[in-house]
Structure 1
Amino acid sequence: MKVLLFVAFAAVANAQQFKCPVKDGLYEDPIQCDKFYECYDGIVTEKLCPDGLVFNPTIRKINKCDQPFSVDCGNRLELQPAQPTGPCPRRNGFFAHPDPKVCNVYYNCIEGISTKQSCPPGLHFEEFSGTCVWPATAGREGCDASETMVLKDGFKCPKEGQSDANGQLVVHPKYPHPNDCQRFYVCLNGLEPRDLGCQIGEVYNDETQRCDAPENVPGCEDWYKDDSAPKPVAGKKSS
């Protein structure tokens, strides 16, 4: 009880030190980024944003508590004590996976309830911006490429990537299978491989990067001729 009384007394004392401007409104604390003051008819009330959010004086919304990556706190570096729950170091916000080797998974925390989310293939989560970015931009060390970057047959996406006829880097390049005319690989964002296959009766044409009739692909003309049964297709159909 004494501690609660002391905290309440300190809050009142701090509020009394803050002098309201002539205009009613919400004003930031000069020291603590998640603390602000509500001024109405010259009466000041000290308030705190929900844990994990900070006060943003630049937005016109009634609720001015915002994500830290959207606010320039300047010298207002202090924050209220954290209230961690599960993978959420604070009750609200976007946070990286607690394992530093897992760079493509993050958590969206709302009032202590976490939702696990994954970045698109090849991207890493960056807490500074709260978004998924290219690994070079994120600058995170010790990330595990994971088994998803290498297929069971040993294929992995070439580092040099692939360019189109205009010299532009292809976002999702395709590559032929070395032994199977019906199969091909797609590298999502140039990094994460997928093993796909053409529908029965077609083979992959590396020149057009599409599934095509066998007679249009040199070396694959007789792919289906000697089969008494259709060859199995790896992955999902593509056209």
Structure 2
Amino acid sequence: MIGLLCFIVYSCICAAYGETDCSTLPNGHYNIGCKVFDVCTNHVLTTVECVPGKVYNNVTRRCDDERVVAPPCGRVRDCSTRADGSYPDLLLNCTSYFTCSHHIYFGHNFCTPGTVFEKTLGTCVWPDDAYRPCGNKV
């Protein structure tokens, strides 16, 4: 069951990011998320998924222990008492959100600059369209 859940989450993450076309890109990392990133090497795509407990480290440019990675990816959130869903990261002023599934932390996602996460809508919106504590709506 957990294996199936991991596959579904991974598939959703890949679909959300889209597939990187390495045919015209220089070698490097693309579509970088906290748990998944693409690597183009000699115009060949490799998608890397960090194992549980590890996240992308912008300094080392690889998966690393989440306890030594700078925020926001390195900030592990406690999902042990949370229902499945996405939650605004109040410590980062709602400019990102994290996902919990079956009491497991699945990492952060970042909002487009200038937007904040609105929990009732489940997406990032302009601050005037978000309720407090993330936005200006009362």
TM-score of the superposition, structure 1-length normalised? 0.25
Q: Larger RCO: Structure 1 or Structure 2 (Cα < 8 Å, ≥ 6 residues apart)?
A: 2
> Which protein shows a greater Rg?
1
Q: Normalised by the size of structure 2, how large is the TM-score?
A: 0.41
Higher fraction of helix = 2
Which structure dedicates a bigger proportion of its chain to strand? 2
